[in-house]
Amino acid sequence: MPTLRIEQPDDEARLKDWQHVHNVIVPPAAMSLDEVRERVRRNHLEVAYLGDVLVGCTTVRPPTDDTATAMVIARVLAEHRGQGFGEELYVRGLKQARELGAEVIETVVLAANEDGLRFARKHGFIEIERYVLPGETAEWVDLRLA
């Protein structure tokens, strides 16, 4: 498998790349660049490239003081799926979450993202909740690593 170059989005170009992947994969939760800038201050974000080609991104939301639960989300653009990149990003995110003290790992997937749901289930996640946010129509699925 080709090697991914994985970087933290610490400049405008990488922040925009992270934003692009996020917004393509979860359009109902599209984020502005200012929202991405805020998110990078409280979560661990990374962007993945194959050479200079954007492949995907990750989010690791660290456990908070009152819980040992971390959120790990790996996103791979559709044209790069099925090549093991999601696996590499997920394993890396899971390791980061554990290093941050997570005892429980959760993820969230847009219900319409069948590839994402299949990936999560294949990796041992079990659905814990489905919901639609107030005023919205998109259905979300919360999953927990068994």
- Report which residue type is found at 24: V
CA distance 58 to 8: 10
List, for residues 12-70, the tens digit of each pLDDT value: 999 999 999 999 999 999 999 999 999 999 999 999 999 999 999 999 999 987 889 99
List, for residues 74-105, the tens digit of each pLDDT value: 999 999 999 999 999 999 999 999 999 999 99
pLDDT confidence band for 1 (50 / 70 / 90): low
1 neighbors 83 (Cβ within 8 angstroms): yes
